[in-house]
A and B are shown apart, each in its own frame.
Chain A
Amino acid sequence: MKIEYWAGSDMLNIHLVERPSIESEEVADDFVFDYDEQGRVVCIEVANASERVDLSEIKKQAVVMQDSMEPVEIFSVREVADQLDVGVRAIQKTLKQMADAGQAVGKRTGQTSSIYLWADQVEQVKQWRAQRRPGRPRKEEVLG
């Protein structure tokens, strides 16, 4: 069992087992149970935790995360493709090459939905592509 308290967002997570959940249920205001595929509770999430529970004892056993509430940017594959002025398939191909090379980036958000990348991962994709330009060398590269 692992207990995490996210101080910035005041969220308490009690991980009963380390397994992804497939659905969740708000059993009371601010108390959410996460369930696995067999319908077993894998995590209890408490929002507004400092108001809902006595954290003084829990904090002694919890990993306290000092998270920021400052928004971070997340980019879809299409947005990355637009930034680099290439097609979506080119970025998907790059992501696969990076994954095959053990440098996987991006978070898939569903079987048919897109992959999200953080700003630092977008930079990794740009660097990877810059180092491995596909196709024939460009004229200016040949001429030096």
Chain B
Amino acid sequence: MKATEYYRNSVLVRQPELATKQALLEPVEAQVQLDGRLRHWIYVPEEKKYLRIVTLADGETVHNGMFDLAFTRRATQK
């Protein structure tokens, strides 16, 4: 898997519990950001939360990630 230096040295330091790879393989939803980067969401059962992974425009270089509170709220209210 490919990642940016920011992901390696900032995101994973702040939020170490990210199961990134599955999000790219089987996202429940994907979206293109205004800057051309891609958002992928996946449900992580052990956390009971949705994980958002942002890749560069190539769709495979991971740049950012977070457990997405707003997406989790929306999905669980449906």
User: A residues engaging B (CB < 8 A)?
Assistant: 4, 6, 8-9, 11, 13, 20-26, 29, 32, 34-35, 42-43, 47-48, 65, 67-76, 107-114, 116, 118
- Give the residues in chain B near A9, CB-CB below 8 Å: 4-6, 63
A-B contacts at CB below 8 angstroms, number: 107
Main secondary structure of the interface of A (DSSP, over half): strand
- Give the residues in chain B near A24, CB-CB below 8 Å: 15, 66-69
Interchain CB contact (< 8 A) of B6 among A67, A107, A111, A114:
A67
Main secondary structure of the interface of B (DSSP, over half): mixed
A22-B17 in contact (CB<8A): yes
Q: Please give me the residue from chain B that is nearest to A67 by CB atom.
A: B5
Chain A min CB distance to B58 (Å): 8
- In the assembled complex, the Cα of A117 lies from the Cα of B56 at a distance in Å of 20
- In the assembled complex, the Cα of A4 lies from the Cα of B5 at a distance in Å of 14
- In the assembled complex, the Cα of A86 lies from the Cα of B32 at a distance in Å of 39
A109-B69 in contact (CB<8A): no
A43-B8 in contact (CB<8A): no
